A and B are shown apart, each in its own frame.
Chain A
């Protein structure tokens, strides 16, 4: 019951335009069976938009269409839009009818007229070919021929009623300068604004010589839509409207797969490498080896056999190859094998939006899984200030959605201050991994330091490492901290040498001590021996002494007895014996 009260669902039926981005903004396309007003200045892309809408219907949705041309003859239209590869001539036979309604040059006017005849003719044609879509291109031309505002109003109503009665999904294009609501009052289209169910305004501005196009849905009855201006470019396949990340979008393919950065120790520092599909930002001043680091990644990707594209805004492909060969990164064989594509975008001028579209198209064409943009800060060139941030956002968004691992370098121009601060593009907050390269000037040397400022979802080293470029490639060296300062280059080397010498000295000292101790021990041992010998001698002497004393006493007593015997004066003591 409740759902029935919400009204007929046909209100929300949408007719897809086939214009990338536009269908996302309007959540499906133009209101089906209703009229859309498309306003814009000369060259803003009205005809293209309308024609693309018809082509999409005729070619892809089995909805034949009619194009009523008030401004350009069908022959000219076909010639002008041949370049988009829409096979207009082929479609024209079956599902696309062009009505030449350009006012004849010899047209004579007398009095009032109306579009009734044309609409009757169109109605017959629409029935015959079962048309579902119709475009009135440059209605303002024919309205201008009508005498007076009331006649114009009448014809607009006639047209609107006719469209509704046939249930065709219609686009009416008309010239209008600017986007200011006040100016519309003077226009005959002011009533059209109230009449139509959807109004789209195309703008074309030039800022600092750079063309910027954008589109805005002004109203859309019965549907929600993105109300902001959306930049678009006219590309090889027609319109391409940039869409910001919308809430309703499908979940991203998030993987925990890691991809090597091309520098072994950096992989270790990141706990295994970048995540697949991550966006890596490498910032640094000129000459801090941003290109080298990003190319090392590209070379590693090619070695793994992943298709890779490098978009270089600084130098030509051949230059890139030569310069990187000097640091042991060989790209030429990957280019030859077709795995790597180097796109020199130095000469591409245009808005940031144009560049993004080109990058997208080339990446798709190459089926790249890894993409290097060197430097992404080019997007920020003059004239793009307003859009660059949005473009960078969408770049990262798009890469993520397609699971492309993106490595961007970004130049920091400002040598003073802001060394670790955000980049101009402020994409640092969007990037998953942010590596900062810096110069450290110490002891008359300039050395490259590398640190990981952030890396979402991966543990990472907090240390500043020294980045060394040599013939052998890119390596990271440990740095020494002494007194709170990081040592690099020669200082680091000196420190390393000093440590080596200190170790040597310590070793020698230990050896010396051992020898000395050995000597002392030996001396003591010798002394001990001699003392023992002396002791022995003393003992011998003592024994000798005892013995001589005894013998002498014996001799003495023996002698006295003898003397007595000889004297004979005394009683021989013998008897006593």
Chain B
């Protein structure tokens, strides 16, 4: 501690001024002899004591104001040891790993808290005017506080809760940090990585190198001494033998530090709807175990979510929990009616479509597809379907058409595709009320492609993949309100419409190679999946577990007013319908368990869906990996002494004392 301008301390002599003024004022008071002095003395006895005390306090305050003002002008400083840079103004990016392994508690609190405290500590040593940014290393890596001289903003960002649940993405986080440093205002640039550098995560040493940037890495936490058991896989499926039962298969894995043994007292517990549904002991063999539990399948209107808990005292508690959906069907049930069946032939109407749908990633859209001939379609089969596809099917009989109408109006999806078997007049007559639009007629012969403009919310990649499609025949469709895709001549290729609580789509051409070469094009699969997702509604929510930080596309409710999401932590989120978007890109997945989705229509009826966010398996190995040693990092961590000026806080103190003096004086006068 020292003073930059010690001579200014001579001004402390001015602290005697209030005392002198006090004494002078005392002598200057006019004197008055009063015979009733005793009465006056009694009248002022109480207030006189208070006044004497307040006088003394005022005197002390005034002396303190002058003393601290002089002290602040003398520019005092303290010597601080800083870990980043040499105390000069600079730009620093803090990369904090918020992957799941950072949720481990090593006895000194969880690692993410330790990392935040360390970053705050380093942040506070930066001189005023320095720039700082905060980047999180959980996947996807993200900047939570851009590079700015507002160090308080960076501190606020660090103070916000950081659930460490994600996969690690430190390499990308470092890249983001370097991008921030590209806009740095100071030549002195540093990037400080705080992580446990667990074996499951880590950072590529080669990424820790950039011209003009000094890298510092610091491992947070001590090595784990216990094994970590984790839920390797959780799968629920309706029991084919007993439709009212759901089987849950749980695979437990372990990752142990050298010399540690996996605990044998683990248990699995399944809870849901406020009660324990099933439980079982876990017998670990060679670091693995499998448990099969059976629970009652909930009613369609009941909460389908269940919680799987691995009860064990291990290294990382955060990955001992997973969610599972106990639904009668674990995928969108698609009933495809084949209007031109030619078994084992490329000319079969569904030949390409069925093969393409087997390639749809489960994480994107889980499908359960059945195909039937038009003559074999039974009314009862509609009950077990979420989406019905009439692929080049002759117009159905009126009874089945009415059944179809009820199916769509009650929330089902209908996709009608073109072909030479589609009789426009007959379709309009029997299915007019449920079709997406009217079919004007059929046109064959002219070769036409798709227009470049496409609804981006329908096909995020745009026309790419459909650009080369040549169509020789098509249904001429009346323009509807929603036409996500059109032909180059302006006529609609796809028209969609909400009918009741359901959805109806009309595809102008065939889904085989009869009228177009669409099945040969790369855009065929995304287009088909997008149509099915649109038609399926909430049922199209991905059934494959996501991991925290993943984005999930949720279809908007049909004719609905809002989408409601009940998070595993009980928080309820509501999203009003955005008419421009067909899906909601939901990113707030930093919680483990079942996210229940409800699509609430204007009529107040709701359709349910759910998706699951489970801990990332690759973060289960929490044992410490090697600490990367960037070349430029040498010396950065060595603490150096710097002067931290104290004049600013002292001036604030003087200001506060002056305010207190003023307030006290006014109050004393009013008393």
Do A and B assemble together?
no
Using a CB–CB cutoff of 8 Å, the interface residues on chain B facing chain A are none
Using a CB–CB cutoff of 8 Å, the interface residues on chain A facing chain B are none
